[in-house]
Chains A and B, each alone.
Chain A
Amino acid sequence: MIAHALFFYFFSIIAIVSAIFVIVSRNTVHAVFFLILDFISIACLFIMIGAEFLGMMMLIVYVGAVAVLFLFVVMLMNVTEQKLSWFRGTKKTGHIPVGLIIGTVILLELIVIVGGWRYRDSFSETEFLSFNSEFTNTHMIGNVMYTDFIHLFQISGIILLLAMIGAIVLTYRKREGVKTQSYIKQISREREDSVQLKDVEFDKGVKLDD
């Protein structure tokens, strides 16, 4: 019980502090670093209560995709003060120290969560959630996803389809005069269409009807 509480407070304090730093820090790159730290801490919290699938999803979706996307946006936006030294930073706002600190904390968290994995069962018992050790979390989510929640799953699919259609409507422009290769046209071309035999008279040019 105490160990559980200790782990919980360890991760949640890091999560809250980094969430505050996301808002407080003036430097956008630092803010994104703290955002990643926040996501990872919350993923660890999920893993701790036995929801390892949700935790991994947090890592893949938020840390993997969203946070990296954020970094790209921040770096491509050319924020004036960071334009020249987007990586090293100026003396005032060095990125490397902050990045190192955050990296260390993330490493620490990983060590804690991997080290604590052996004691997973004793944590889970302290939870209110009903926990069946025969099935993994992923297995159970898969079970309900395609049975009880099939309609929700389908609606989510339609939402994604709509997002796709919307993105195409709002950005796709048909360009005129683009030369594309047409296989059908190439194959169906006869010899007679393209080759003309002419008797060329001496000292006169050939008149082609083009």
Chain B
Amino acid sequence: MLDLNFIIPEIFLTLSILIFVIIGVFIKNSFEIIYKLSLFLIFLLIVIILSNNDEYSKIFNESISIDMFSIYSKILILTSTFFILFISKRYIIDIKNNKFEYPVIVLLSILGMFIMVSSNDLIVFYLGLELQSLALYILASIDRDNIKSSEAGIKYFVLSALSSGLLLYGCSLVYGFAGSTNFETISNNTQAFNVGIIFGMVFILVGLAFKVSVVPFHMWTPDVYQGAPTSVTSFFSVVPKIAGMAIFIKFMYLPFREILDQWQYILVFMSIASMILGAVGAMAQKNIKRLMAYSSIGHMGYALAGIASGTENGFKSTLVYISIYLVMNIGAFGCILLMKRDGKYIEEINELSGISKNHPLISLGFLVILFSLAGIPPLAGFFAKFYIFMSVIESNMFTLAIVGLVTTVISAFYYIRIIKVMYFDDPKKSFERFTDYRIHGPIIISCILLISFFLYPSFLNDIVSKIIIF
């Protein structure tokens, strides 16, 4: 009974989902009410999780661990989901996807991520991952009459199911050679030259790398990002990435910490490759959602660089990076969701030309966010990259740091190209005015956070420095 106290958020979330499904079935046109209830539920969950007064424990035969790390990831997941649901309401209604299942599926995927980030056992981890990704397949194809959305859903489903299979194979190998599914027991039973475990580790790495879309397992990202409805794309680009990176850190630092020298170079390679591909691939893109896809591949490369350093500072810098990344991405997708002209949402970058004349404030906000994504100094994006490179250099990986710096410069090109299009090209017809300011709020919050971060940059570090995994 005592164990259940620690998973009150999960139980509360599950029961609420069941009640929402019942409400949704019995009340006609219940999108509105379920949507509001979901936002309220997420808010309540944040309160419940924060009110855990530092009691950490491993429960259910040590298969779930509630600790600072999982709580931090859960707060990140909840906050970003809250804002993404908040900004995407109008879009969901406009593309006539206002089914009550939409928020319910989002909540179910959050439940999966909760289970995943607090897992301390291979089976719990896998079930959480499946719950999460099953919800994501449905979300990707939720606009079922749109052929691109269906294509995105099928593509994501097939590829992701394949990667889940590889991951499961890895899990079974690790279980076979380490003799347990518990993360700590695995790390205790791991010797440096146990080929079976290393083999399994590589397969698990493949699966995880697919979920966070780093090179060479990134092929699905641009198509899925472009095909899925923008509201879903904004969810895809932030929330699963947080959960994926969190579980990536957990895997590398808990069960596989004894074989650091085995995975370190794999991660360095994946990190360098995704930084380069994210920078080069985005240049030729004309569609802003595709561009954001490549940008997220690049950003995941930087986040991986922190893990690849293999030190405690390394994974902490990754957590800081992810936190800042989510602020930037929510703002950027808020701006993309504002691109509506003549009743149609547009995604071409050229359509942005000269909007600074008609919408000075929005374009200023977009400018700040893009500069921050590019990593221009006073903004938060710079500090995120700064901490990553600090920890990378601390562990003497100069190649990684140099490649990272070079690709930062290269990737600044396409962010600044958007700014050039917005400010210096001939103005086109203005966008539709949004009167309810639902989207503007999160954009303004994100801009303020990004600008004012340099006043007190140790704010995030103070929180993150308390996190221990071992």
Contacts and interface: CB of A to CB of B under 8 A. Distances in A.
Contact of B127 (A148, A156, A166, A169): A156
Classify chain B's interface size: 20 to 34
B58 interface: no
Contacts, number: 55
A165 B137 contact: no
Contact of A158 (B111, B141, B153): B111
Interface in A127-161: 148-149, 151-152, 155-156, 158-159
A169 B124 contact: no
B131 A158 contact: yes
A165 B63 contact: no
A162 B105 contact: yes
Given A165-B104, A165-B105, A169-B99, A159 B64 contact: no
A170 interface: yes
Given A162-B131, A170-B138, A155 B115 contact: yes
Contact of A166 (B14, B64, B124, B138): B138
B41 interface: no
Nearest to A170: B144
A20 interface: no
A168 B14 CA distance: 19
Contacts of B137: 166
Contacts of B123: 149, 152
A156 B115 CA distance: 12
A168 B99 CA distance: 11
B135 interface: yes
A155 B131 contact: yes
B60 interface: yes
B124 A162 contact: no
Contacts of A156: 127
Interface of A: 148-149, 151-152, 155-156, 158-159, 162-163, 165-166, 168-170
Given A152-B123, A165-B101, A170-B144, 5 more contacts: A155-B128, A159-B134, A168-B101, A169-B105, A170-B141
B108 interface: yes
A7 to B, nearest CB: 22
11 contacts: A148-B61, A151-B60, A151-B124, A152-B127, A155-B115, A159-B134, A162-B108, A162-B131, A165-B104, A165-B105, A169-B101
A149 B142 CA distance: 33
A165 B17 CA distance: 12
Which of B105, B123, B128, B134 counts the most A-chain CB atoms under 10 A from its CB? Answer: B134
B17 to A, nearest CB: 8
Interface string B111-128: 100010000000110011
A159 B142 contact: no
A148 B182 CA distance: 13
B131 to A, nearest CB: 5
Interface in B347-388: none
Nearest to B127: A155
Interface string B124-161: 10011011001101100110100000000100000000
Contacts of A151: 60, 63-64, 124
Which of B101, B142, B153 counts the most A-chain CB atoms under 10 A from its CB? Answer: B101
B61 A166 contact: no
Contacts of B141: 170
A74 to B, nearest CB: 19
Nearest to A165: B101
Contacts of B63: 151-152
Contacts of A158: 14, 108, 111, 131
Contacts of A152: 63, 123-124, 127
A65 B102 CA distance: 31
Given A148-B61, A151-B64, A166 B134 contact: yes
Contacts of A169: 99, 101, 105, 138, 142, 144
B21 interface: yes
A163 B101 CA distance: 12
A46 to B, nearest CB: 15
A162 B20 CA distance: 13
A48 B21 CA distance: 45
Contacts of B135: 162, 166
Nearest to B4: A151
Contacts of B14: 158
A159 B131 CA distance: 5
B164 to A, nearest CB: 12
Contacts of B130: 159
Given A152-B123, A158-B108, A163 B134 contact: yes
A156 B111 CA distance: 12
A166 B137 CA distance: 9
Contacts of B111: 158
A194 B21 CA distance: 39
Given A148-B61, A159-B130, A166 B115 contact: no
